Structure 1
Amino acid sequence: MRRLTIVRVAALAGLTLLAACGPAKKSVFPPAVTLQEVTAKPGGAWHLTLRVRNNSYGGMSFDRFQGTLQVGQLGGVLLDANISQDIPSFAADVTRVDILPTPEMAKALAELATKGSAGALPYAIEGRVTGTPEKEDKPSTYPVHGKSWLSPVPGIPDTYRSP
């Protein structure tokens, strides 16, 4: 009986060692896309700085973000940003995109400017980002849902940042 137990333990140890010989797969988690800064340009266009955060244990090559930006309780505008960046694990980088906001969004941002640094305006970003995790061949699409606030930047007119 004792010999049978030793054989079973040896077999189990051998299988465990064989399982450890396979390639390590890094965990991939959905990235985050947030609005870092908005600059209102003359003529009405907004220059957005989007922050793309890789939440995975391995690097990821990001291609594109497609979604909507909603400011306050107003209707949203479409965002289509070509990211084309490799971002290491648990790191972030920025990409920039210009949009033409709705008249209501422009008015809400102008009203926010009159409140100074004490003012805040909620925003939401919804969409999907496409990226390829390291050691993989095919890109994957990840949903993005982000909400925060915009506040005027003291001393820099027509510029708003998110915490």
Structure 2
Amino acid sequence: MGRRITVLVLSLVVALAAACSSGPARRVSEPAASIQELAVQADGSWSISLRLQNYSSVPMRFDAIDLQVTVGGQAAGTLADAPALEIGPESADVVAVRMQPASGARMLLADTLAAGRGVDYALDGTISAAPADRGNARSYPVKRKSALSPAPGLAGVLR
């Protein structure tokens, strides 16, 4: 009888150890991007704080950003960068990217800021990312529409 109990207890311990060894599921989800802040520089260029969101259950390495920016319906240009940034699971981080906007978008944004109004924007393009422990990055499509409002007390800044 004592031997049976020992074998039963040992079997339960082995079964529990096997059940725990698989760990949490690895889920890789499409990342997202949004403009957190847009600041107009003295030379007319834009400094954009781009928020990168990792919805995956594993850390992701963000290798490249290639996004077409539209403000108020005007094509502004391409937001391109190679941040080489690692973002933890289900977290976000911000990367600063400068861009030289098209003249129509620059004028529209100047009018918007002078009037103290907000403006709609859209991002359309790709983000290249990969799990931090793997080498090959994959391109994920990004489509985002949102709006920016003037930041109180900060001239030339929209958030």
TM (norm. structure 2) is 0.82
Deviation at 1:23, TM superposition (A): 6.6
8 Å Cα contact 2:76/2:104 also seen in 1? no
1:141 to 2:139 alignment: yes
User: 1:70-100: per-residue Cα shift (whole Å, max 9, x none)?
Assistant: 1111124111112111100111111111111
What is the alpha-carbon distance in structure 2 between the residues aligned to residue 64 and residue 134 of structure 1?
14
Alpha-carbon shift at residue 134 of structure 1 (Å): 3.6
Superposition deviation, residue 135 in structure 1: 3.6
Tell me, which stretches of 5 or more residues in structure 2 are unaligned? Answer: 1-16
SS at match of 2:82: strand
1:120 aligns with 2:118: yes
Structure 2 partner of 1:77? 77
Equivalent residue number for residue 153 of structure 1: 151
CA contact (8 A) 2:72 2:120 kept: yes
Indicate the residue corresponding to 2:94 in structure 1: 94
Which residue does the alignment assign to 2:57?
57
Per-residue deviation, residues 23-73 of structure 1 (Å, max 9, x unmatched) = 754111100011111111112111111110101111101111012101111
Aligned-partner Cα distance in 2 for 1:140–1:19: 32
Cα RMSD (Å) of the superposition?
1.9
Does the CA-based 8 Å contact 1:81-1:95 persist in structure 2? no
Query: What amino acid is aligned across from residue 155 of structure 2 in structure 1?
Result: P
Contact 2:86 2:132 in 1 (8 A): no
Corresponding position of 2:3: none
1:92-139 deviation digits (Å, cap 9, x = unpaired):
1111111111111111111111232xx221100011111111443321
Kindly tell me the number of residue pairs found equivalent between the two proteins.
Answer: 143
Question: 1:103: which partner in 2?
Answer: 103
- Structure 2 CA distance, aligned partners of 1:55 and 1:94? 15
Identity rate, percent? 29
- Unaligned runs of 5+ residues in structure 1 are 1-16
SS in 2 for 1:108: helix
Partner in structure 2 of residue 35 of structure 1? 35
C-alpha contact 1:112 1:151 (8 A) present in aligned 2: no
The one-letter amino acid paired with 1:95 is V
Cα contact 2:44–2:100 (8 A) shared by 1? yes
Q: Name the aligned partner's letter for residue 96 of structure 1.
A: A
Q: Distance in 2 between matches of 1:97 and 1:58?
A: 25
Q: Which amino acid aligns with 2:139?
A: T
